[in-house]
Structure 1
Amino acid sequence: MPASQSVAEFRPGAGLLVLGVDTCGPSGSVALARLEMSTAQISGQTAWDIGQSAEILGQVTLAGRTYSATLVAAIAELLTKHEARLADVGAIAVVHGPGSFTGVRVGLSAVKGLAEPGKTPVVVVSRLEVLAAKVGVPSASLDAHRHEVFLRLAGREGGAQQLLAGAEELMEINPAPTRVAVCDDEAATLLESVWQGTELIRSEAPTATDAIRTCVPAILAGEFADLALLDGFYLRRSDAEIFGDPSTAKARHV
């Protein structure tokens, strides 16, 4: 199937290949999945639907700090293993942060380079959202280093807020969430020290496979990113920006 096709143009019963990319954590991954597309008539309009979650065809794990050298080769290996070409990929799901500044940029740059020639649709998703969806709770937290956490807080009306927080900021959040998904000891330790009444639900770290599954509704709804505006979701500035600014460096040591 040409990569320039949109989801709405696929024939009923045709499989939609989805590539997943996550380079935001201490280790990364790429995954390939197939969505079996079917159509249903709702109030006279045709709607895309899938009866079950995506069929995961395979996943390749990437060692941390090697993304720039291994990411594209891993994608090529995964496609070749499943007798697919880049032109066969109908959509790409990419995790755009928060996480390693370099990892986020490497992943997004690679996805832009892969998607632009064939106008392949791209869906972006937060790593916090993926972790929350993986566990099945609305709130999630990841280690942000420097005694801080990346935090996703569910809103009362269904929305979600994502922020960077240390112990002081966590104490100001009232009420604290009742359940939070975590996948690393550092985030769990900080949350336990402040929110004694919160249940921490531990999980394996989210992967590209989890990202694809989280993005299925957005793919089917055609909620694609504008590649020209696609950027990382950092939640804080890079080390170069922080430590390269004399006034900021001075303030950190007052």
Structure 2
Amino acid sequence: MRLLLIHTAGGEGSVALGDTALAQAIVATEALPGRTSSERLVPAVRRLMEASGFRLSELAAVVVVYGPGSFTGVRVGVSAAKGLSEAGGVPLVAVSRLALLAAAVDGAGEAVHAVLDAGRGEFYYGEYVRQRCLREALMAREDVIAAAASGVVVVCEEKVAEALAELRPKVLEEPSAADALPLALERIVAGEFDDAMTLDANYLRRTDAEIFAKPALPRAAKPRVGGAADLAEVVALERRVVEAPHWAEAEYGAIVGGGAAGAVRRGLFVAETDEGLLGFAVGKVILSAADGVGELESVAVDAAGRRRGVGRSLCEAVIGWCREQGAVEMELEVRAGSSGAIALYEGLGFGVVGRRGGYYREPDEDAVLMQLKLAGIK
């Protein structure tokens, strides 16, 4: 299976030829330095194909990285790919630049958040789980911070890495056209091709109405104490959130049915809007003759609530409750790879105090132990 791959959406463009019949599937590549794609793309394609003995009509597909990125670069790449596809009568496969970046890391079942610079203080954002796209959007910095609170954050631009430093992103080289081969092969095997007549560039830009109106995203209501009436929604939400600890419904029932009394006290807090439950958190306090110790046992936020500060407000509710119950310090455990969650907890005042090897399962991962002193916190 022979393929032509084109990527002109980034800072530097590239072209590649692939042949899956060979042990080394990438046969040839050529970089298009700087922003020279409009002049060099077609000559580079012709040069590579002639040198490698490829014929347009023999290709299994033309593959193009169709954005988001440079408007000019994206347009040039998409236009050339569509023209070549139609001229050779071969299928067309369009691959997102965000998907390409996300595929460069192993999320081990966690969400992978790919982020690119969109200019004007905004970012192209994509969320993926096991290379399946959950969403792609244009976001402001604060929205990216909230959306990527858990999982792996990956970038390929130093400017973006600096802007999102609190998320501790993994910084990679910009993926090239050759890197699109595995994603393209999955699409081809599944028979999922794009229509050259209707394919448009993946700009991810907002409409004029969105740009000028800038409607405010509704925020979740202030967290409240959860009750028996919330249990069905709490359990349903928990099952949707991969990183949440999955407890039996009876466990939550015990919390709301008398968990706030005695030496060991537990509290359930929920955040909701008219749309329904957006998140919940569970706190625990163990009282002794000396001092009480609180624990943030669980925080789970639905995808619809991850751009609204829901996780932070739930954490703050649990911290306040633990203090009221007599705790003088708090503890929590978090997956070592959850850089966004760790950044959130550090922003709340928690500090890293240790590590527990192999604590988590599915996937196996260490736990980072964090602690917060409540004395003096208002």
TM-score (norm 1): 0.75
Deviation at 1:158, TM superposition (A): 5.2
Q: Structure 2 vs 1, CA of residues 36 and 146 (structure 1 numbering), >3 Å: closer, same or farther?
A: same
Larger radius of gyration: 2
Deviation at 1:171, TM superposition (A): 4.3
Identity %: 40
2:59 is aligned to: 89
1:43 is aligned to: none
State the alpha-carbon separation in 2 of the partners of residues 112 and 119 from structure 1.
Answer: 10
Residue aligned with 2:164, SS: helix
2:175 is equivalent to residue 206 of structure 1: yes
Amino acid paired to 2:62: I
Tell me, which stretches of 5 or more residues in structure 1 are unaligned? 1-15, 38-51
Tell me, which stretches of 5 or more residues in structure 2 are unaligned? 215-378
2:20 is aligned to: 35
Amino acid paired to 1:187: V
Once the two structures are superposed, the pairs formed by residues 114-153 of structure 1 within 5 Å of their partners are 114-137=84-107, 138-153=112-127
Q: Deviations for 1:69-104, whole angstroms, at most 9, x for unmatched residues?
A: 111000011111112222222211111100011111
> Deviation above 6 Å: which 4+ runs of structure 1?
248-251
Q: Deviations for 1:45-68, whole angstroms, at most 9, x for unmatched residues?
A: xxxxxxx8x710011001232211
State the alpha-carbon separation in 2 of the partners of residues 171 and 134 from structure 1.
Answer: 21
Once the two structures are superposed, the pairs formed by residues 113-192 of structure 1 within 5 Å of their partners are 113-137=83-107, 138-154=112-128, 159-173=133-147, 176-192=149-165
State the alpha-carbon separation in 1 of the partners of residues 129 and 120 from structure 2.
Answer: 26
2:9 is aligned to: 24
Residue aligned with 1:230, SS: coil
Question: Is the Cα–Cα contact under 8 Å of residues 68 and 202 in structure 2 kept in the other structure?
Answer: yes
1:108 is aligned to: 78
RMSD over aligned CA atoms reads: 2.6
Question: Is the Cα–Cα contact under 8 Å of residues 123 and 218 in structure 1 kept in the other structure?
Answer: yes
Amino acid paired to 2:192: E
2:205 is equivalent to residue 236 of structure 1: yes
Deviation at 1:181, TM superposition (A): 1.3
2:45 is equivalent to residue 71 of structure 1: no
Residue aligned with 1:117, SS: helix
Higher relative contact order (CA 8 A, sep 6+): 1
Residue aligned with 1:92, SS: strand
200-209 vs 162-171, which moves further: 162-171
Question: Is the Cα–Cα contact under 8 Å of residues 25 and 64 in structure 1 kept in the other structure?
Answer: no
Amino acid paired to 1:152: G
Q: Structure 2 vs 1, CA of residues 250 and 176 (structure 1 numbering), >3 Å: closer, same or farther?
A: closer
207-216 vs 161-170, which moves further: 161-170
Q: Deviations for 1:100-138, whole angstroms, at most 9, x for unmatched residues?
A: 111111111111111102321111110010011122333
150-159 vs 91-100, which moves further: 150-159
State the alpha-carbon separation in 2 of the partners of residues 177 and 105 from structure 1.
Answer: 34
Question: Is the Cα–Cα contact under 8 Å of residues 28 and 207 in structure 1 kept in the other structure?
Answer: yes
Q: Structure 2 vs 1, CA of residues 31 and 147 (structure 1 numbering), >3 Å: closer, same or farther?
A: same
Amino acid paired to 1:30: V
Q: Deviations for 1:167-193, whole angstroms, at most 9, x for unmatched residues?
A: 2323443x613211111111111212x
1:225 to 194, 198, 222: 194
TM-score (norm 2): 0.51
